[in-house]
Amino acid sequence: MKKKSLVFTSLFGLTILLCSCNKSNRFEIDTTKNRVEVKIHRFDKDLLSINTTNMKVGVNSLYAHYQEFLPIFTNEILDTTAADTIAVRNLFYKFLTDTAFAQVNKKSLQTFSNVSDIEKQVSDAYTYIHHYFPEVRLPEIYFFVSGFNRSIMMNNEFIGIGTDFYLGSDFPAYKSLTYQYLVKNMRRECLATDLISATLFRMFVMNSSEYRLLDNMLFRGKVLYLMSVFMHKEKPENIIGYSPEQWKWCKTNEKQIWAAIIDQKHLFSSDVQLIKRYMNDAPFTSPISQESPGRLGTWIGWQIVKSYMDKNTTVSLTDLMKENNYQRMLEESGYRP
């Protein structure tokens, strides 16, 4: 496997909130109608199931079944081209016989032996996306393993998720892999929400000439609001990647969080480093409190957007995503924690 620095996309930085799930949700639909059925392509399982005593047959099978995905995988992960079949076969052999990854690969197969529950979650969300944004071409989904090389690969045709990044927060290999505040979300239960988050952030791009903290907060808040509609059965703390205690802290201190942002005159700042401290994954949100969870800018952004949508009941989801006047959104939200 190509040795790279860890590229762990916290898709959750991406990372996301859930609105209240109740029957008054005006955007709720019947997902049994015009349903988008998702079938995950199991490149991970097929790769790990290759008989290493007959690599040629196994690798040829991968070439036959993954004609679109394999060239991207070999380029991004193996650092070679799919046309060099001998090099690809040798690299796969080294990976499959590497004792350092034997336990990881075994755990991956066990953890994702059956993915029907994940397919149902994603199918429900895809059905919502197709209903409200029918013009969007939804990407195919591939699972892969890469020896902790990449957690996600994306283009306009597919999203690939590295299952070896979702083996459980107590998986021993993770202790030296990445920051411990990220490890808590490296669980099977987080994969579907990470995948839908990645899909939505691929669909929508922030449009702002000023690039202020406010703009970043509300753009991410808009995507979080979509998540709260499309995956409304999930608990809020699971969607954002917070623990129940972190979620409770945010709700308890919401008024103080907002006051601190205003008092420090951060809301309209275009300081990139300051914006990162509010928006990026971190052990805590440093401008607010060492007791806080990270990404409080994202959390507050979602609260503002929710208030905006509650007050403006004629605004559709399409309207919401087209709205790029973040100053006006804030004013019309009537947000007062």
Between CA 2 and CA 75 the distance in angstroms is 10
Closest CA to 298 of 261, 336, 243, 244: 261
pLDDT of residue 241: 83
pLDDT above 60 (res 142): yes
* Per-residue exposure over 286-320, b if at least 16 CB sit within 10 Å of its own CB, e if not: ebbeeebbbbbbbbbbbbbbbbbbeeeeeeebeeb
- HEC letters along the chain: CCCCCCECCCCCCCCCCCCCCCCCCCCCCCCCCCCCCCCCEEHHHHHHCCCHHHHHHHHHHHHHHCCCHHHHHHHHHHCCCCCCHHHHHHHHHHHHHCHHHHHHHHHHHHHCCCCHHHHHHHHHHHHHHHHHCCCCCCCEEEEECCCCCECEEECCCEEEEEHHHCCCCCCHHHHHCCCHHHHCCCCHHHHHHHHHHHHHHHHCCCCCCCCCHHHHHHHHHHHHHHHHHHCCCCCHHHHHCCCHHHHHHHHHCHHHHHHHHHHCCCCCCCCHHHHHHHHCCCCCECCCECCCCCCHHHHHHHHHHHHHHHHCCCCCHHHHHHCCCHHHHHHHHCCCC
pLDDT of residue 15: 38
pLDDT above 60 (res 50): yes
pLDDT of residue 256: 97
Between CA 89 and CA 55 the distance in angstroms is 7
pLDDT of residue 136: 94
pLDDT of residue 12: 40
pLDDT above 80 (res 23): no
**Can you tell me which residue has the tokens 């949508």?**
309
pLDDT of residue 133: 97
Between CA 52 and CA 288 the distance in angstroms is 53
Q: What is the mean pLDDT of residues 267-275?
A: 97
The segment with the largest mean pLDDT, out of 13-27, 57-71, 168-182, is 57-71
- pLDDT > 70 fraction of the chain, expressed in percent and rounded: 93
pLDDT above 50 (res 20): no
202-243: pLDDT as tens digits: 999 998 888 999 999 999 999 999 999 999 999 888 878 888
pLDDT above 90 (res 22): no
pLDDT above 60 (res 124): yes
Between CA 127 and CA 150 the distance in angstroms is 28
Beta strand 152-154 with 158-162 is antiparallel
Q: pTM of this prediction?
A: 0.89
Q: What is the mean pLDDT of residues 163-182?
A: 92
For the chain, the structural domain boundaries read 41-203, 213-333
70-86: pLDDT as tens digits: 999 999 999 999 999 99
Distance of CA 200 to the CA centre of its chain: 9
